[in-house]
Amino acid sequence: MRSRTDSEVRELLRTSAAGLLERLPQLADELVKRGRDSDEAYRMTVPYEDHWKSTHEGLRIGITAILQPRHERRDVAYAQTVGRRRAEFGLPLDSLMRSYRLAAQVTWNGVIDIIGDQGQERLPALLRSATHVWHAIDRQAVAAADAYRRRENELLGRTNQRVNAMLDALLEGRADPAVAGVAAGALGLPEHGRYAVVTTRLPAQPDRVHRPDEIGGLRFLWRMRPDLEMAVVYLGDRELDDLVAAITPVVCASAGVSPVVESLADLGTARRLAEVAMRTCSGSAPEVARLDRRLPAALVVCQPELAGHLAGGVLGPILASPDGGVLLATLEAWLRCEGSAARAAAELYCHRNTVFNRVRRIEQLTGRSLARPLDVVELSLALDAVRLLPGGW
């Protein structure tokens, strides 16, 4: 009995397939119309001609597969092609899956129309054939969804690579105005606007660092290098003070902040200046340096040979003195406290008279007076050179 029913099912499917193929253009028209009427995404992303052609071909291949041995069927392979194309068009995956459910309805309704008037005796075979039809279309839908996801991941990866490549070109100063314009669209940023660049040294264990895309209401676009990280920051109407306040709690090492630049094309300059600012940081504690507030130190790190001569010529006698470390610390505190002996003494944990005595000793050894502005400039720059150059204090 089972063998007879199976034979009837196969015969019914062959009859249905032949009838459906004769009505193929009408079935494609119905399926496309119902799909586009019920799903705005199809209307917005897939051109009508492409939609109709792919639907017609998909129905033809799927119906023909009913008449073919499994190894000759092309319905699954074609479904994979459709899935990839719909991902390229940007059609949502839900819309693609809905189209396969609709195709199952249209196809099965066509089978009913062809077989339904042939008598009640064919009802068992008709019911069993439903399983074959719906299973075949479900198999196609699964294949289309898998291909869609793979293609979507490929496209997303290429998009991210393209965006990162454009961002790298901007930061390295290799982008001409045309590239800057394209990058603005890809990054979702204005080509002309207020930007700054942040650079920060990587901590000892960089894998533990997570850089959010938004900090303090400011958007950050991060790029990693072997020894540092860089971020393009769109300021809008915010100021550098806001940027420094936002990143200070999250930096784990030295960081440099560039001056404000007025377009994406200027990011290469901003990146170089941010790196200079970062180089003015000394010590291992986290520190954020704004270039516009570290210009003397920036001059020192940009001219290390001259800075070395300056350090030796001005502070050489102190460096050679047995108490050179104490004197340099006193000079740094004196300059930072703007010549206030009381404040310097509080920082150094000593009596103010001790500070005066050390200041006189500094003046004797260097031949400079801390009361003369030009001498103060030389001493300050020389102190920065000693602090920032390799082998310094």
pLDDT digits (tens, 9 = 90+) for 22-66: 999 999 999 999 999 998 888 888 999 999 999 999 999 988 887
> What tokens appear for 175 in the block?
């982008």
Per DSSP, 69 falls in state: -
Distance CA 210, CA 208 (A): 7
State pTM to two decimals. Answer: 0.59
C-alpha dihedral sign at 276, 281, 283, 288: negative
Distance CA 346, CA 328 (A): 16
pLDDT digits (tens, 9 = 90+) for 176-235: 777 788 788 778 889 899 999 999 987 655 554 557 788 988 999 998 887 889 999 999
Instruction: Please choose, from the candidates 174, 197, 183, 200, the residue with its C-alpha nearest in 3D space to the C-alpha of residue 272.
Output: 197
3-state helix, strand, coil in the chain (%, to 5): 70, 10, 20
Orientation of helix 267-279 relative to helix 123-171, angle to 10°? 70
> What tokens appear for 351 in the block?
């009596």
> What tokens appear for 356 in the block?
């005066």
Q: Which amino acid is at 306?
A: L
